[in-house]
Structure 1
Amino acid sequence: MRVIATAGHVDHGKSTLLRALTGMEPDRWEEERRRGLTIDLGYVWTDGLAFVDVPGHERFVGNMLAGVGPVTAVLFVVAADAGWSVQSREHLEILHALGVGRGVLAVTRSDLADPGPVLAACRDRLRGSTLADVPAVAVSAVTGEGLPGLRALLAAIPPDDPAPEADVRLWIDRVFTVEGRGTVVTGTLGAGVIRAGDVLRLGGDDVRIRGLHSLNEAKTEVAAPARVAVNLRGGARPRRGHTLLTPGRWLDVEVLDVRVSGEGRPPEQVTWHLGTAAEPARLRALGEDTVRVTLPRPLPVRVGDRALLRDPGSRRVWGAVVLDVRPPELRRRGAARARAADLAGMSGVPDGVAELRRRGLARRDDLAAMGTPVDADPVAGDWLADPDHWAGLRHRLAEVVAGRPGLAAETARQLLGLPDRALVDALAEGAAVRTVRGRLFRPARTPGVDELRRGWAADPFAAPDAARLAELGLDRRALAAAEAAGELVQLAPGVVLPPGAAEEAAEVLARLPRPFTVAQARTALNTTRRVVVPLLEHLDRLGLTRRQDTAGSRTFL
């Protein structure tokens, strides 16, 4: 199915032409038929062509934008007896800003005036726009002249890519109630497939698809591109500008960075048009052609989306291509200038590899929801990493651990600014760093220390006895060298524990009643008196505990 919107000045015969093409009445309201003036969107169809009829009057340009927003082809209408007019220009500016480049130019009322001069004038007006190369035809809805040729040109418009596996985003353009069936919404399905029984997301609610119609026929599923009516079951209250979405596949976007096109700079306050949504938006200029957009409510937006910025006062419009839907905050002086430099290198064409390179780390599903999926193996869980960034993190982790043996993995996560502890473990695997009970160590340079670590992994407070140290070749000189290298801590002659043992002991002892005794500490740490006494004295020296006079008990400072 090809879904085509009309465009053109008021009273140039858009609705009359659709009646002649389809035999259907596009004006749904009695007031529209009585006044001969399209006010809201109309919907008619014939032979695989579905039309969204838009109003041409300047007072209803918001409705016009809701009609053309989700549609990628246009039937541009200019009357032979009136010629190019004010709304012809404004509608062309809107279509150009939205990047609509497929369609047909129809010069109507060829029975009332010679269409030749108007066809030539329109060609001149379209030059330089996205519609510069569309085919043109002169027609008369009264005599039928040119209608067969128009039908053939409309049928020849290249259809949208159906993308059956794409995530659903149906912009709602009409809402009504059917007695006995409940709420029905309509819209233009641009990608994906909707099936009866599906659960979709509407705002903050899940809704179930109770039934489907397309071109007034009941369907069990509807594939894009298509006009579709969806009967909903659920408590949500939809309205024009809302969306039906594949759950879990779209981001709620309130702040985004875009590249604008058009004459001059847009003002700080504009109306943001995307799909059928029209929201007041606040702009912050970044670079010569880039701005930050802040919306009053979240919308499902992806990189590469084309939107329109409109100044309601002057009726000027600017095109907007979405560059980033998860931009960084601008807090420091000069941040906006630096951000503009970053955006200068972005094209707005979705590129998952480039997006991952900019971010360094990102979850696979988040990248897909941004509209920039990446086909790569995760480094940990569902985390993806840019290879160069990952190599740099691995080098930094090795440096940090070399300077602070026994560093807690959580502390390393914070020092490296990582969003997930699992990333530390994954980095350690490739950085010649070992994780022992949540603490990080470089491979021991002193022979025998790695054997000690294997024992400490199960019991960090079990200091090997003199026989075991001798067996491993760890004499007094070797132990001193290992301690100097940060590979272990020697609490007393021949009493050695892993780096970080003091901090781990403090965490365990902090859970004891205060004050606690040596015996209570020995039990809590599952060790011997030979170890616990020098360990407690070590904690005293670190200022973590304080010995009291009563029976050698201790408390925490």
Structure 2
Amino acid sequence: MHVLATAGHVDHGKSTLVRALTGSDPDRLADEKRRGLTIRLGYCWTELDPVGEVAFVDVPGHDRFLPTTLSGLGPAPAVLFVVAADDPWMPQAAEHLAALDALGVRHGVLAVTRADLTDPGPALATARAQLAGTGLAGAPAVAVSGRTGQGLAELRAALGAMLAAIPAPDPATPARLWADRSFHLRGSGTIVTGTLPAGTIAVGDRLVTDAVEVRVRGIQALGSDTDRVVGPARVALDLGGGVGRSVAEGSVLVAPEAYRWTSEIDVRLRGDGDPPRGPLLHIGALACAVHVRPLGNGYARLGLERPLPLHAGDRAILRDPGDRRMWGVAVLDPDPVPLRRRGAAGRHATALAGFDGGMAAPLRVRGAARRSELARSGFTDDLDAAAGDEWLLDPARASELAARLTELVTAAGVDGISPADAARRLGLPDPVLLRALPGPAPIERGGRLVADIGLGEAESRALAALTAELADAPFAAPDADRLRELGIDDAMLARLARAGRLVRPAPGIALGPGAVDEAVSRLAELPQPFTASEARRALGTSRRVALPLLDHLDRSGRTVRLPDDRRRLRT
């Protein structure tokens, strides 16, 4: 399916043209028929070669209904722009064109109506000149008459060719439906209709709106029931009973966990002059009040009155309800970093100039981020980091942080520093990011990061003597008297253990650095589980050494102590 909206000044023949193309009347309200103008969004469909099904969203042309018009234009990827041959270029035509340009609409057809009443040439030339400075510059143009049928075949051909040239969106794109109508249908429940720009919705899917999760119980597209629909499409969803007023007109329904619901966004603005502090933001089929914080150079931070599910790259309109000025909005970052220091706004505007939709630029601003969170914000993965890495670190900061980590670990001496404390001091959100730093990683012993520092002369001499003593009997730890003879007190034992030069399962007990692995190897030969006495004999040592060593193996996760006081190796 393809979807396009109409646009143009009131009473220039938009609805008449849609009726002529589809055979259906988009004006369904009695008041619309009585007054001869569109008040609410209208929907009709037909088939066009070579693209097949095409849904039309017919929008009001009267200036009083501009918010409704923008709700129809917002999600539509293409437009049928209508001007009348027997009227000059009119204000709402200019306003609709400005809105389309702000939304970044680049696909459309220009239709000059009432060609049976007067020469369409002057109106066609004027309209082409007006379109020339917008994204619709060079759009194909057709002179038509909805009353006589003149030019309708040419218009159908032009619309079909234009729609065929639009790249098809990825059906795997996370679904986001902008609800432009919501009503209760007896026997079914809450029904919402809207335009699905991209993605797929199937019966049974769960969708989220604000804090409410709903389940799709039925789908209708172009008047027919279906099990699934792929955007772009006009769709009606049956959400069943129990939803109540939680899904109203102006709601947006999205795939769970696929979008960031945000109340603050960084954007690029395009338009004349500065917007007021409190304009309206029109995005999709809804509008909400925002607070504008200028950052400089055409960039701003918008505070939204309600959380919305937004992605980087979304297009919207800022509108001043007072003087009707509009600005185009491109969402750059739906999850902006705080700006607290003096001059931060200007520096941040410079950084935003590098945002291109990929993850690299927001990662530079954040320093570190989760890949999944960047994806929820709509950033495309353009990083060289391994695909499985969840935490990402800005390469530009990595070398500086690695040097600072070395300083922290060295300053901590043999006592070391915990990974959590090191990450906190470096401003990293998770200790796992320490592993992503370049250069040799600090040594981790006993849950702490320690520097590989050299030993003093006395420590080296004492360690050499102890190593020689344990060479033939690795678990025959010297007693306190022998340790004193070797020049080793308990403080030195603790320092050597923290430096990883020996194992100290308890005060006064010293074993070689490979004692734990050797103990596990010997215990693996025992029938599992085993008693402390069986372990003592396998290790060839005394209870004084065996019991603290077994406790050490328990704490380090190498063995499991059972309720009957036996142990087994952890598998």
TM-score under structure 2 normalisation?
0.78
1:411 aligns with 2:421: yes
* 1:162 and 2:169 correspond: yes
Q: 1:257 to 1:481 in 2, by over 3 A?
A: same
Q: Does the residue aligned with 1:407 lie in a helix, a strand or coil?
A: coil
- The alignment partner of 1:269 has SS state of coil
- Helix, strand or coil for the counterpart of 2:301? strand
Seen in structure 2, the aligned counterparts of structure 1 residues 355 and 198 have a Cα distance that, compared at 3 Å, is same
Note closer, same or farther for the CA distance 1:482–1:444 as it changes in structure 2 (3 Å cut). farther
Which residue of structure 2 lines up, in the alignment, with residue 3 of structure 1?
A: 3
CA–CA separation in structure 2 for the residues paired with 1:181 and 1:255:
37
* Structure 2 equivalent of residue 45 of structure 1: 45
SS of structure 2 residue aligned to 1:356 = helix
Partner of 2:561: none
The separation in 2 between residues aligned to 1:451 and 1:188, in whole angstroms, is 80
Shift of 1:482: 10
Letter in 1 for 2:334: V
Listed one character per residue, the Cα deviations across residues 323-348 of structure 1 (whole Å, up to 9, x for unaligned) are 111212222222222222222333xx
Question: What is the match of residue 299 of structure 2?
Answer: 290
Q: 2 CA distance for matches of 1:365 and 1:450?
A: 51
CA distance in 1, matches of 2:437, 2:333: 32
The match for 1:315 is: 324
Contact kept, 8 Å, 2:59 with 2:72, in 1: the verdict is yes
| CA distance 1:409–1:298, change in 2 (3 Å) | same
Match of 1:457 in 2: none
Structure 2 CA distance for partners of 1:451 and 1:320, relative to 1, 3 Å: farther
1:172-207 per-residue CA deviation (whole Å, 9 max, x = no partner) reads: 111122221111111111111111111111221111
Residue 256 of structure 1 corresponds to 265
The secondary structure found in structure 1 opposite 2:126 is helix
* Unaligned ranges ≥5, structure 1: 453-462, 498-525, 529-557
Deviation of 1:382 after TM superposition, in Å, equals: 2.3
Per the alignment, do residues 177 and 63 of structure 1 end up closer, same or farther by CA in structure 2, a change over 3 Å counting?
A: same
Worse overlay, 350-359 or 134-143? 350-359
Q: CA deviation at 1:397?
A: 1.8
2:421 corresponds to 1:422 = no
The 1:4/1:244 distance shift into structure 2, 3 A limit, reads: same
Q: Deviation at 1:386?
A: 3.1
Relative to structure 1, the CA distance from residue 241 to residue 468 in structure 2 (aligned partners, 3 Å threshold; closer, same or farther) is: farther
Q: 1:153 aligns with which of 135, 153, 158?
A: 158
Equivalent in 101, 114, 119 of residue 114 of structure 1: 119
- How far residue 101 of structure 1 moved from its aligned partner, in angstroms, is 1.3
What is the distance in 1 between the residues matched to 2:297 and 2:305? 24
Cα distance in 1 between the residues matched to 2:322 and 2:154: 40
SS in 1 for 2:296: coil
Mark the CA change 1:495 to 1:93 in structure 2 (over 3 Å): closer, same or farther.
Answer: same
In structure 2, what is the equivalent of residue 27 of structure 1?
27
* Distance in 2, Cα, partners of 1:227 & 1:378: 39
Alpha-carbon offset, residue 365 of structure 1: 1.2
User: Does the Cα contact within 8 Å between 1:394 and 1:427 map onto a contact in 2?
Assistant: no
Distance 2:177 2:388 in 1: 34
Does the alignment pair 1:94 with 2:99? yes
**Does the residue aligned with 2:32 lie in a helix, a strand or coil?**
helix
TM-score by length of 1: 0.80
Which moves more between the two structures, 360-369 or 8-17? Answer: 360-369
For 1:118 and 1:395, the matched residues in 2 are separated by 69
1:502-538: CA deviation from partner (whole Å, max 9, x where unpaired) = xxxxxxxxxxxxxxxxxxxxxxxx989xxxxxxxxxx
Cα distance in 2 between the residues matched to 1:437 and 1:233: 57
User: Aligned match of 1:74 in 60, 79, 82?
Assistant: 79
Measured after TM superposition, the shift of residue 484 of structure 1 is 11
Letter in 2 for 1:353: A
> Are 1:396 and 2:404 matched, yes or no?
yes
Residues 362-411 of structure 1, C-alpha deviations (whole Å, 9 max, x = no match) = 11211111111326556997212233434443332222111113212222
2:150 and 2:124 mapped to 1: Cα distance? 16
Q: Give the counterpart letter for 1:319 in structure 2.
A: G
Identity rate, percent: 49
Consecutive unaligned residues of structure 2, counting only runs of 5 or more, are: 48-52, 467-476, 502-506, 511-546, 550-571
- One-letter amino acid of the counterpart of residue 112, structure 1: L
Letter in 2 for 1:384: L
Greater displacement, 252-261 / 433-442? 433-442
Query: Do 1:283 and 1:294's aligned partners in 2 also have CA atoms closer than 8 Å?
Result: yes
d(CA) in 2 for partners of 1:147, 1:427 = 63
The alignment partner of 2:216 has SS state of strand
Deviates more, 1:151-160 or 1:313-322: 151-160
* Map of 1:363 onto structure 2: 370
Shift of the 267–449 alpha-carbon distance from structure 1 to 2, 3 Å rule, reads farther
Q: How far, CA to CA, are the matches of 1:240 and 1:451 in structure 2?
A: 82
Between the aligned partners of 1:333 and 1:435, the Cα distance in structure 2 is: 39
Give how far 1:358 is off.
3.1
Residue number in structure 2 paired with 1:387: 395
Deviations 1:92-118 (A, max 9, x none): 111111111111000001111110111
Maintained 8 Å contact 1:397/1:431: no
**Distance change (3 Å), C-alpha of 1:322 and 1:367:** same
Q: Which residue of 2 aligns with 1:245?
A: 254
What letter corresponds to residue 133 of structure 1 in structure 2? G
User: How far is the alpha carbon of 1:53 from its aligned partner?
Assistant: 0.3
